[in-house]
Structures are given as structure tokens and as C-alpha cells.
Chains A and B, each alone.
Chain A
Amino acid sequence: MGRYILKRIGYMIVTFYVVVTLTFLSMKMLPGTPFKFANRLSPEQLNQLKHYYGLDQPVPVQYLQYMWNFIHGDLGGSFQYGMQPVTEFLMQRFPVSMQLGIESMIFGTILGILLGIISGIYRGRFLDWGMVTLTVVFISIPSFIFAAILQYFFSVQIRIFPVIGWSGPMTHVLPVISIGVGVMASIARFMRTEMVEVLNQDYIVTAQAKGLSTSAVIYKHAIRNAMIPIVTVIGPMTAAVVTGSLVIENIFAIPGIGSQFIDAIVTNDYPMIMGTTELYAALFIVTIFIVDILYGVIDPRIRVSGGKPS
């Protein structure tokens, strides 16, 4: 197992290096400049600015410089905020997005798995039919529409939760639900399919033939096996939710990383764009790694083949 993890970490570093390099190169290919009134500046002024931000160097030199700084934990300064370090912005804003994402995932995953299990057990019956309809509705409605509806009912009509903001548990409820229902619906559908499939497996009949009660068959034999594929979707979904919550962040005025990212792209704030992209990439890579490890914990077949001493 240790050897397997080491190997995986090696791959992760390589992947991350490729992402950083590609991000850097794509920045160089972006049209326009970071300077707002570039067309009104004289060529001398423009050159002076480029020199100040180090953009006059040849690309390979810039690249090496960037990588050197990167290794030392310096992602450069934000062009739009007077060279204030990008890392400062990320450290300040990212935890908020992360918290929102994780809370939404926990909410959505737990409910989704429960609904999926129930739906799978009662497949073809009224309960299942209702559940399937509900999930289709929740998957189809975009989260921002759902957010607006929630705001209208729970903040305007029966003022339980604040309309916007991010300060204390009450402010978390609506944004978390807005993102979470989509997660819940996707996971419920997935879990239902898995449950139906697992319940048709021969080993379920074996378990019944042992005389186990229906609930023992479901708890001990069906759910664990149905969960295995779910773990694989939860990982990428977490990353997608954390990085994809920018619309919800905007609607609820949540000081997350999403709005920052959009600003950075609009203003060609290269270091900020790169920093955020790299953070997202790192998050994705780490999540997938964790999922693979978890996968091995749940599924003994993977555990053994991964840790086979060679």
C-alpha cells in the first residue's frame, strides 16, 4: 500500500507540473494586455509597464522565473491590486468557497444516498416513481433559479433566513441547499441504479438463502457494494462543486473565490488567473487521489491488487 501511495503521489506531481506549464503557456497566448487603457499609452509607456511587470522578457525566461518563484511558494502579485501577492487573495477567499462546497456536498451526498437506497429497494412502486420524478426536476432546474426561488420564499415571504451574506450558520442554509439539491438528485439517481443492479446479483440470493432478514441483506450485502461506484463520482463532484459555485456565490454575495476568478479573467490579471487555476487543479488532483484510496478501503479487490508486494 505504501509503495502504491508513493507512486500515486509521483503521478500527482507530474500531473500538476503539466497543468502549471499549460496554464502559463495559455496565458501567453491570451489576446490583449493587462493594462486597461493600453491603446492610449505611448509605446514607451507600454514598454515601461511591461518591464515593471516582467512581461518584456522572452517567454522561456518568464517561464523559468515563474517556476522558480512557484517552487518557493510565490505565485506573483495581482496586476489589478497593485502587486499584492496572489497567495494572500487565495488564502483569504478559498476557504469560504471550500466550506460552501463541502457543506453542499455533505448535504447532497447523505440525502442522495438515502433517497437512492429507498428508491432502489422500492423500485417500480409509487415511492420510487415519485423519487425519480423529483430527481429529474432537481437535476433540470439550474441552481441559480432554485436559489432565487428559495430566497423569495424563505427570505422575503417568511423571513427565516437572510437573503444574502456569509456570516453565521443561518446564512449558510439557502446557498448550501441551492447547490446541494443538484448534488442530491445526481447521487440519488446514481445510487438507485446501483441498488437495483446489486439487488439483482446472485450473492443477494445467497444471502437470502442463508435465512438473513431482508434488512440484514440490504445493510450488510447490498449497500456496501452499491456504494463503491458512488465514491468515484463523489470525488470529481466535490471538486466541481467547490470550483463551480461562482454563480451561487454571486447571488448570495458570498466572498468566495469564484467572483475573484471572473474579475481576474476580465482584466487579464495573469498571476491571479494562474494562481486560481492551479489551486483548482491541485484540488481536483488531491480529491481524485483521496477517492482512489477510499475506493481501496471499500473494495477489497482494489486494495489487494494495489498493494501486492512485487
Chain B
Amino acid sequence: MDHLMKITDLNVVFHIFGADVHAVRGIDLELNKGETLAIVGESGSGKSVTSKSIMGLIPNPPGEITSGEILFEGKDLVQYSQKQMQKIRGKDISMIFQDPMTALNPTMKIGKQIMEGLIKHQGLSKHDAKERAIELLQLVGIPNPEKRVDEYPHQFSGGMRQRVVIAIALACNPKILIADEPTTALDVTIQAQILDLMRDLQEKTGTAIILITHDLGVVANLAKRVAVMYGGKIVETGTLDEIFYNPKHPYTWGLLSSMPKLHAKTDKLLAIPGTPPDLSHPPKGCPFAARCPYAMKVCIDHMPEYTELSKTQKAACWLLDERAPKVDPPSTIGVGGEA
């Protein structure tokens, strides 16, 4: 099957203060038409850098894609110039940002901010673009769009602004929508509304979504496939069910255990001890080895290969090697009634 997007061995390095920070270290990802792929991981795992690489928005300097390819409909975006990328951005691939309070230009009417992309990519006249902007506002559930199209961002609440940001992203019917922590900055009730809206819009438009998040609740709500990132690498991928009910990588176990549970007996929050590796000196072996309760000698010095667990699931962990001792996942994972 032809993938809509295929990332192969992507490496991104930031040259900062004389050190080379290896933010993304050889990741492979595929995205199919109309599907939702979640990239999960904690801060600094490289998930945002991956999404910025796809958009061609890695600031250079200091950032640099040192190797790998990002094939979009068969064409390698890594080789594209900024000029060529400008034709892709907003048209074929667009993005929703984390903080709707700062993602909109405070001195420009929101209608105009939506129209910009339409005028640029679809060559619409101002009048037509405005009509379309009103339609889009309606689509993302903003009441009274004819009036609100002429208002400024400060006249909207946080949730409403995120809807505007989504309208901007969807303006030109992109094939891929990258949502970078789309609900992190919102109230919990608003989060649910925004997630509903995104799922709704995906059904209507058939856009593929790459969802970047550290919130497994959001993942459960929206994603079909999950890639778990750690230390600039993808440590496990699988379908939503596989990741939630049959996780194989100790880091995935840790992530699932640290999800707060409503019906838990204790009020203690479980955390993964330690901190992520310093990516200016990336570890030779498995990046999680230093924090992994099951780490063996081999983990320190040798990066494990992926083990195919099913057609859709694979994980990079020495525990999956046939010579390794058998380890059961901790009981704290318990995914209760979510999804």
C-alpha cells in the first residue's frame, strides 16, 4: 500500500553553544490517508521537532536535518527549498499549535488570518475568500460567523481561538494536519469539545492527522495508531489497542502507569524516576536504559533492533530478545474504561 507520507531514518541536529543536540535520531514513520497517528512522549523526546521537520519549519541555524527523507506523495520534502515548502505548507500540510492565546496575530482580524492562506494557495478573490472564511468558522462551530469574522483574537475565548486556529489550518483542505499538543493549553471541558470537533472534521474532510501529545487520554480519544518516542527515537509503535492493552516496551509501561486513574485506591501519582537523556551526548545503547527498572548490561551499550510483534506493532527492547528473561508488565498499567 502506498503511504501518504513516509519518513525514513530522519535525523535532526541542533547546533547550540558548540554542542550538537541530536533531537531526532533516525526515526521511521508512515502515515496513511485519512488516518490518525499519535506521537507520544515526554518533553524533549523529539516529537515537536519531528513535526516541525515535516513542515520545514526547523530554524536553520541552529537546526539542521542531517539525513533521512520525508516522502510526501513520493516527493522528498527534505530536499525542498523554502520557496517550494511555502507551496506545501498550509495547502497540503498544515498545523495546529499548542497555545491558541499566542498563535493568532493580535492585530489582525481573524477573518483576514483565515483568508491569507486561501488567497495564497487557491487564488481566491478577497470576497470569495471571506465567504469561505465564514463557512470555515461555521464548520468549526463558531456561532454568528458573519459578525465574528471581522473581530480580533482578543474578542475570543481560548477554546474559540483554538477553533479559529483549526479553521486556519483546514482552510485549504490539507491532506495532513499536524496537531501539536492541540488541547494542552485548554480547560478540560474545552479539551473534550476540541477533540470532538477534530474527530468530526476528520470524518467530514478525510484529512490525515498527526497528533503530537504527551496526554494519553487525548490519544485514546482520537488516534488509531500510536508511536511512542523517547530520547529522539521511536521505541514502540502499534495500533491504539496494542499500545494500551498489550504494550511491550518498559517506557510505554511507564507512560501508562503514570496516567492518573480516577478509581485508584491510592492517591499517589506514579512517575517514571529519573530524567530523559542529555541529547547533546546521546547514549550509545537504549536511551531509556538509565531509567528502566529492567535494564540489563546489553541495554547500556547496544541499541536494540525492532522486534516485530504483529503486522502493526513493533518495539525496540532487549527484553523482547529470545535470550532475555521473561518480564511481565507491571500491574499499575491498568487502562480502566477509557477509550
Contacts and interface: CB of A to CB of B under 8 A. Distances in A.
Contacts of B134: none
Contacts of A209: 55, 57, 89-90, 94-95, 97, 169
Contacts of A156: none
Interface string A262-299: 00000000000000000000000000000000000011
Which one of B82, B106, B155 has the greatest number of beta carbons of chain A within 10 Å? Answer: B106
Contacts of B116: 207, 210, 212, 216, 220
Interface of A: 201-203, 205-214, 216, 220-221, 224-225, 228, 298-301, 304
Q: Report the interface size class on chain B.
A: 35 or more
A304 B155 contact: yes
A194 B107 CA distance: 15
Nearest to B116: A210
A203 B100 CA distance: 9
A217 to B, nearest CB: 10
Interface string B82-118: 1101111111001101010011111111000100110
A110 B57 CA distance: 32
B105 A206 contact: yes
Contacts of A216: 116, 120
A203 B105 contact: yes
Contacts of A205: 57, 97, 103
Contacts, number: 84
A224 B113 CA distance: 14
A299 B105 CA distance: 11
B222 interface: no
Interface of B: 55, 57, 82-83, 85-91, 94-95, 97, 99, 102-109, 113, 116-117, 120-121, 152, 154-155, 165, 168-169, 171
Contact of A300 (B103, B120, B154, B168): B154
Closest 9 CB pairs between A and B? A211-B90, A211-B89, A210-B90, A202-B102, A210-B117, A300-B152, A203-B105, A209-B95, A211-B86
Nearest to A227: B107
Contacts of A212: 86, 90, 116-117, 120
B97 A224 contact: no
Given A201-B102, A228-B107, A301-B106, A206 B152 contact: no
A304 B152 contact: yes
A211 B121 contact: yes
Given A225-B107, A300-B107, 16 more contacts: A206-B113, A207-B105, A208-B89, A210-B89, A210-B94, A210-B168, A211-B85, A211-B86, A211-B88, A211-B89, A211-B91, A212-B86, A212-B116, A212-B117, A216-B120, A299-B106
Contacts of B85: 211
Contacts of B154: 300-301, 304
